[in-house]
Chains A and B, each alone.
Chain A
Amino acid sequence: MRSAHWLAFLLVFAGCRFGEGARAQGVREHSVPADARARTYLEAVPAELAQGISGPGGRYFEVQLRTPQIQGFPCSSCHGDRGAGSEVLVRSGHGSIDLIHPRGAARDCRTCHLPRDPAMLKLLTGETVTLDHAYRLCAQCHFAEAEAWAGGGHGKRVATWEGRRVVLNCTGCHNPHNPAFPKRLPRPGPSIPRRSR
Chain B
Amino acid sequence: MSGADREANTPLAKPVDRRKALEMLAGGLAAASQLASTCSPLSSATPEERERRLLEWEERLKGNFRLMTDEEKAETIERLERLAKLRRGVDVSISATEAQPGVLFGYAFNISKCLGYRECVAACIRENNQDRKSNMQYIRIFEMEQGEIDFLRADATFEHEVPADGHFYIGTQCFQCANPPCVEVCPVQATWQEPDGIVVIDYDWCIGCRYCMAACPYWARRFNWSEPEVPAEEINPVQHYLGNRLRKKGVVEKCTFCIQRTRAGRLPACVEACPTGARVFGNLLDPDSEIRWVLEHKRVFRLKEELGTEPRFWYFMD
Contacts and interface: CB of A to CB of B under 8 A. Distances in A.
Contacts of A161: 262, 265-267, 281-283, 289
Contacts of A181: 115, 275-276
B118 interface: yes
B247 to A, nearest CB: 17
B254 interface: no
By secondary structure, the B interface counts as loop
A157 B135 contact: no
Interface stretch (B21-29, B68-76, B154-162): B154-162
A148 B278 CA distance: 12
A169 to B, nearest CB: 12
Of residues A41, A153, A156, which shows the largest number of chain B Cβ atoms within 10 Å of its Cβ?
A153
B91 to A, nearest CB: 14
A31 interface: yes
Interface in B115-147: 115-119, 121-122, 134-135, 137, 140-141
A160 B282 CA distance: 9
A34 B264 CA distance: 8
Given A156-B277, A184-B162, A195 B267 contact: no
A98 B137 CA distance: 37
* Residue from B110, B263, B277 whose CB has the most chain A CB atoms within 10 Å: B277
Given A31-B102, A161-B265, A173-B275, A195 B118 contact: no
Given A153-B316, A161-B262, A187 B121 contact: yes
Contacts of A159: 266-267, 272
Contact of A186 (B152, B159, B291): B159
A28 B156 CA distance: 41
B204 interface: no
Interface range for A: 35 or more
Contacts of B263: 33, 35
Interface of A: 28, 31, 33-35, 37-38, 41-42, 59, 148, 151-157, 159-163, 173, 181, 183-197
Interface of B: 95, 97-98, 100, 102, 110, 115-119, 121-122, 134-135, 137, 140-141, 152-163, 219, 238, 262-267, 272, 274-277, 280-283, 286, 288-291, 293-294, 297-298, 316, 318
Given A161-B266, A184-B161, A194-B219, 20 more contacts: A31-B102, A34-B97, A37-B238, A38-B265, A41-B265, A41-B266, A151-B290, A152-B293, A153-B290, A173-B276, A181-B275, A183-B161, A183-B162, A186-B118, A187-B117, A188-B118, A188-B122, A189-B157, A190-B137, A195-B156
